[in-house]
Amino acid sequence: MRFNRAKHVAKIHLILAMSAALLLASAGAALAAGVWHKLEKQNIVVIGDRVVDIAYNLGVYPAAMGVRCSIWPLCDKIKMLAKPLGCPECLINAKQDNLIDFINENNVKLVIIEKSDPFCILKPDVKPTDVAPALKGLDVKVEYVDFSKGIEGAIVQTAALLGKKKAGQALAATYAKASADLEAKIAQGKPGKRVVVLNGVYQPETTKTFIRVETPGGYSDKFILGPLGCQNVGDGLVPKGQTPDKGHVTIRKLDALATIQPQAIVITGDGAAVQKALAATVAKHPELGRTPVYCLPLYIDSSVIERPQIVGKWLWALR
């Protein structure tokens, strides 16, 4: 067979172009996540959303983790790298064997556990530290990251355990500046609006959609709406007799919006699922068409490093 140099060179150029495209895509993903450095896998297990988030922003991901994947948006990305073993409550109870088996089968020598109170405002009795007794007798060291000393202190602690002290100092300084900048912006004026927060869910297998209204007293209230002087009026959409599940109540219709007249509607989750229901509601109640609608990121106090940016985006939209 005759060697075709032109075709061979063309193939090499194609391979190089594809490699460059992949590299650019990876860089773009890293930029979007706020992580420029190369991600490093460490053969450890981390129990607790906040510690995983800090580690991720330090450029480290564990071999496995115990976090609230069902409600933490960033988990969808991180679980592609670190194996999810179950939420901390599950690892304390039903899925304890998942943790023990993973440690033994993968020769894990370090488990880092989040120490925070409360860990989850929706389930205040759940404490990741309650996982520790199950680890007694195993050939593994257990360390804790104490969040009672604040986020900056937790960053420094986490960085020391991961061997990233210099990066930890830099991240703590960056976080402190971002937090101070946010507080300064809030001090310039709080929106003070009556807000409804709707979470959309779309099931591609069935094409069914669900709308969940966030009830007062949840994460958005404590970490965003409250500090911004806003009021969550979502309880006006909740049918009588229904109780919240993980801070939300699933509803089918949005007609009650015409009664409670919010000054802004915030969408988290799948925007299209909520927008379609809103379109039908506005067709029946045209006056609702004047209500501002914003798609904003959900915050459940897991992505602590990203909090200033997330709250800042809500402030910008609602002001």
Percent of the chain with pLDDT over 90: 80
CATH number of 40-172: 3.40.50.1980
Strand ranges inside 176-263, DSSP E: 194-203, 208-214, 231-232, 248-251
**Mean pLDDT value across the chain:** 89
Q: Which residues contact 88 (CB under 8 A, 6 or more apart)?
A: 47, 48, 66, 67, 68, 114, 119, 126, 127, 128, 130, 131
Give Dmax over CA atoms of the chain in angstroms: 80
The predicted pLDDT at position 37 comes to: 56
The position carrying tokens 């219709």 is 253
The predicted pLDDT at position 34 comes to: 47
Global confidence as pTM = 0.86
Res. 217: pLDDT tops 60: yes
The predicted pLDDT at position 4 comes to: 52
Res. 247: pLDDT tops 60: yes
The predicted pLDDT at position 182 comes to: 98
Q: CA torsion sign, 213 to 214 to 220 to 222?
A: positive
Percent of the chain with pLDDT over 70: 88
Query: At residue 195, what are phi and psi to the nearest 5 degrees?
Result: -125, 145
pLDDT digits (tens, 9 = 90+) for 80-96: 999 999 999 999 998 99
Task: Specify whether the CB–CB gap between 48 and 114 falls below 8 A.
Answer: yes
pLDDT digits (tens, 9 = 90+) for 138-178: 999 999 999 998 999 999 999 999 999 999 999 999 999 99
pLDDT digits (tens, 9 = 90+) for 22-78: 333 333 334 334 444 589 999 999 999 999 999 999 999 999 999 999 899 999 999
Res. 1: pLDDT tops 60: no
252 band by pLDDT with thresholds 50, 70 and 90: confident
- DSSP summary character for residue 39: P
Q: Which residues contact 286 (CB under 8 A, 6 or more apart)?
A: none
Res. 253: pLDDT tops 50: yes
The predicted pLDDT at position 209 comes to: 87
Counting every residue written for the chain, the total comes to: 319
The predicted pLDDT at position 109 comes to: 98
Asked if domains 40-172 and 187-318 share a fold, the reply is yes
Span 249-275, average pLDDT:
95
Domain boundaries, the chain: 40-172, 187-318
**Superfamily of segment(s) 187-318:** Nitrogenase molybdenum iron protein domain (3.40.50.1980)
The predicted pLDDT at position 159 comes to: 98
Span 280-309, average pLDDT:
97
The predicted pLDDT at position 8 comes to: 44
